């Protein structure tokens, strides 16, 4: 008695059960003849049932992922960042994260999603999805029923929500660069403009068939140099926000007292709690970027976790070796660096390369935040550039090294990364990184210059000394009485 025969029997039995169940449903549905349904009608019913079951699975995972990614901004990033500032500015950082959650969501619903995912123009999205038309359910007169627009395996509503969470966290990441000194009003306007003119085009270029989208071998497409592999946002999210953060830090200038006053983080316990929330949320971010629930989702989940773990060890371990003590802030920063580094690669690399990528991310970002920042003297207050800009760039490049068709056969069986002996993906990654850097630098520079002249970027010296909590929001973070 072989296992195979047994499973055949089970299969046959379930088909019989399933079809009789469908038959029952069909009869209840008002089949006047009552007696026999044609085979094709039965097949149709079986297919419909299977489709509904698959949709339920995919959609459940994607809605979960969507919620996980929202959780990354507040409380995740809000705690991670607010622990790193002085206590007079703790609320200002949390407020930036929370307020952006509101502002960016509304922008996304009104025009952001349409600009990012509408149409297939190589440079910009179109107006197909403005105000959620063709995204929300609509009434279908011919079918005499509500119609749900789909995007791949999931409802377009789910796709819009999931991608909308990226639209929130990406600008929120930039807040790390200008923490403790930027005017709140200017910050709000800047983020609306940045989201519209930097994030939406980039997102369209990479994920909606634009000039950075991956082009299959032998196929026609707008992707420059064959386009890039970016599974969950190495270029779109991390390079764009990190590089823009650097421009912010340079144009806004250093905090008062930089290098002379005590600017130590006021509460690292927050930062660690935030790190844990980011790590968990990142499972939704990366594994959710499969936009379905299947084998590759598990692969992306695994490499995300491994890279974060390796990053934690790498950063704290480097401190341990070079300075004698592993710091908690180092471990937290390393975890995030590992997560950033694996983001573009999540759907393309295997677990062991993921550990290498995490180690590399931890060590390289450690150097970027310590040595390089000190050498150039810019005040990227919470290291948005050092971790997201540098880590994202490293991750995008390493994706070209470690990508394998064994994870995602995106190119019809063609080899992908250097590790498989293919160079074209690697070249495409380098070109995409270059384009993203240049675009983010130029666009952010122009936006900030315009805002500097019109609104002013910085709070007054008096307000900065008082702290942004009081001067911008009229509240204090800690009243223990």
Residues engaged in binding other proteins (CB under 8 A): 262-265, 319, 323, 325, 327, 329-330, 333, 366, 369-371, 373-374, 383, 386
- What is the closest distance, in whole angstroms, from the C-beta atom of residue 178 to other proteins in the complex? 17
- What is the closest distance, in whole angstroms, from the C-beta atom of residue 276 to other proteins in the complex? 19
- What is the closest distance, in whole angstroms, from the C-beta atom of residue 257 to other proteins in the complex? 12
Q: Which lies closer to other proteins via its Cβ, residue 308 or residue 443?
A: 308
- What is the closest distance, in whole angstroms, from the C-beta atom of residue 278 to other proteins in the complex? 16
Nearest to 392 by CA among 443, 441, 337: 337
Q: Which lies closer to other proteins via its Cβ, residue 75 or residue 330?
A: 330
Would residue 53 be called left, alpha or beta, if left means φ above 0 and alpha means ψ between -120 and 50 degrees? alpha
- What is the closest distance, in whole angstroms, from the C-beta atom of residue 370 to other proteins in the complex? 2
- What is the closest distance, in whole angstroms, from the C-beta atom of residue 436 to other proteins in the complex? 25
Residue with tokens 């970002």: 365
Phi, psi of 267 (to 5 degrees): -160, 90
Instruction: State how far the alpha carbon of 269 is from the alpha carbons of 10, 80, 479, in Å.
Output: 54, 9, 18
Q: Which lies closer to other proteins via its Cβ, residue 381 or residue 393?
A: 381
Q: Which lies closer to other proteins via its Cβ, residue 154 or residue 263?
A: 263
- What is the closest distance, in whole angstroms, from the C-beta atom of residue 381 to other proteins in the complex? 11
- What is the closest distance, in whole angstroms, from the C-beta atom of residue 394 to other proteins in the complex? 17
Q: Which lies closer to other proteins via its Cβ, residue 282 or residue 366?
A: 366
- CB-facing half-sphere around the CA of 209: CA atoms within 13 A: 12
Q: H/E/C letters for each residue in the chain? A: CCHHHHHHHHHHHHHHHHHHHHHHHHHHCCCCCCCCCCHHHHHHHHHHHHHHHHHHHHHHHHHHHHHHHHHHHHHHHHHHHHCCCCHHHHHHHHHHHHHHHHHHHHHHHHHHHHHHHCCCCCCCCCCCCHHHCCCCCEEECCCCEEECCEECCEEHHHHHHHHHHHHHHHHHHHCCCCCCCECHHHHHHHHHHHHHHHHHHHHHHHHCCCCCCCCCCCCCCCCHHHCCCCCCCHHHHHHHHHHHHHHHHHHHCCCCCCCCCCCCCCCHHHHHHHHHHHHHHHHHHHHHHHCCCCHHHHHHHHHHHHHHHHHHHHHHHHHHHHHCCCCHHHHHHHHHHHHHHHCCCCCCCCHHHHHHHHHHHHHHHHHHHHHHHHHHCCCCCCCHHHHHHHHHHHHHHHHHHHCCCCCCCCCCCCCCCHHHCCCHHHHHHHHHHHHHHHHHHHHHHHHHHHHHHHCCCECCHHHHHHCHHHHHHCCCCCCCC
Q: Which lies closer to other proteins via its Cβ, residue 119 or residue 253?
A: 253
- What is the closest distance, in whole angstroms, from the C-beta atom of residue 371 to other proteins in the complex? 7
Q: Which lies closer to other proteins via its Cβ, residue 160 or residue 313?
A: 313
Could you tell me how far CA 478 lies from the centroid of its own chain? Answer: 32
- What is the closest distance, in whole angstroms, from the C-beta atom of residue 264 to other proteins in the complex? 5
The token pair that represents 213 in the structure block = 């989208």
Q: Which lies closer to other proteins via its Cβ, residue 5 or residue 264?
A: 264
- What is the closest distance, in whole angstroms, from the C-beta atom of residue 449 to other proteins in the complex? 29
Q: Which lies closer to other proteins via its Cβ, residue 253 or residue 265?
A: 265
Q: Which lies closer to other proteins via its Cβ, residue 111 or residue 366?
A: 366
Q: Which lies closer to other proteins via its Cβ, residue 377 or residue 421?
A: 377
Residue with tokens 């403005």: 130
- What is the closest distance, in whole angstroms, from the C-beta atom of residue 337 to other proteins in the complex? 11
Q: Which lies closer to other proteins via its Cβ, residue 104 or residue 365?
A: 365
């Amino acid at each position: 008695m072989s296992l195979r025969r047994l499973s055949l029997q089970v299969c046959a039995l379930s088909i019989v059960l399933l079809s009789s169940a469908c038959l029952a449903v069909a009869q209840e549905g008002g089949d006047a003849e009552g007696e026999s349904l044609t085979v094709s009608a039965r097949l149709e019913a079986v297919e419909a049932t299977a489709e509904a079951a698959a949709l339920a699975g995919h959609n459940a995972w994607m809605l979960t992922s969507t919620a996980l990614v929202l959780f990354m901004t507040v409380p995740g990033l809000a705690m991670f960042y607010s622990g790193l500032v002085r206590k007079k500015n703790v609320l200002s950082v949390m407020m930036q994260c929370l307020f952006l959650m509101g502002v960016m969501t509304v922008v996304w619903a009104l025009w952001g999603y349409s600009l990012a995912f509408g149409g297939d123009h190589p440079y910009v999205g179109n107006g197909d999805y403005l105000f959620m038309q063709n995204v929300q359910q609509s009434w279908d007169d011919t079918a005499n029923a509500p119609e749900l627009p789909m995007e791949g395996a999931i409802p377009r509503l789910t796709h819009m929500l999931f991608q909308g969470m990226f639209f929130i966290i990406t600008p929120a990441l930039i807040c790390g660069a200008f923490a403790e000194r930027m005017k709140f009003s200017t910050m709000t306007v800047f983020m609306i403009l940045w989201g519209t003119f930097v994030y939406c085009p980039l997102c369209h270029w990479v994920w909606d068939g634009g000039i950075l989208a991956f082009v299959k071998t032998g196929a026609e497409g707008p992707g420059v140099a064959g386009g890039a592999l970016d599974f969950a946002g190495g270029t779109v999210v991390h390079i764009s926000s990190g590089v823009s953060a650097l421009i912010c830090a340079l144009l806004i200038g250093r905090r008062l007292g930089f290098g002379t006053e005590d600017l130590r983080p006021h509460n690292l316990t927050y930062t660690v709690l935030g790190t844990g929330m980011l790590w968990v949320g990142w499972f939704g971010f990366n594994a959710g970027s499969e936009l379905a629930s299947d084998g590759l989702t598990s692969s992306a989940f695994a490499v995300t976790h491994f890279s974060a773990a390796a990053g934690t060890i790498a950063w704290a371990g480097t401190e341990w070796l070079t300075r004698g003590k592993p710091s908690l802030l180092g471990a937290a920063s390393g975890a995030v660096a590992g997560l950033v580094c694996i983001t573009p690669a999540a759907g393309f690399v295997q677990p062991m390369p993921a550990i290498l990528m995490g180690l590399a991310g931890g060590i390289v970002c450690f150097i970027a935040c310590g040595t390089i920042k000190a050498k150039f003297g810019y005040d990227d207050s919470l290291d948005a550039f050092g971790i997201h800009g540098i880590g994202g760039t490293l991750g995008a490049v390493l994706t070209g090294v470690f990508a394998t068709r064994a994870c995602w056969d995106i190119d019809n069986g063609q080899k992908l990364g250097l590790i498989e002996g293919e160079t074209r993906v690697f070249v495409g990654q380098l070109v995409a990184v270059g384009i993203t850097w240049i675009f983010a630098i130029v666009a952010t520079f122009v936006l900030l210059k315009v805002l500097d002249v019109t609104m002013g970027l910085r709070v007054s010296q008096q307000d900065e000394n008082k702290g942004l909590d009081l001067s911008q929001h009229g509240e204090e973070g800690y009243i223990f009485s």
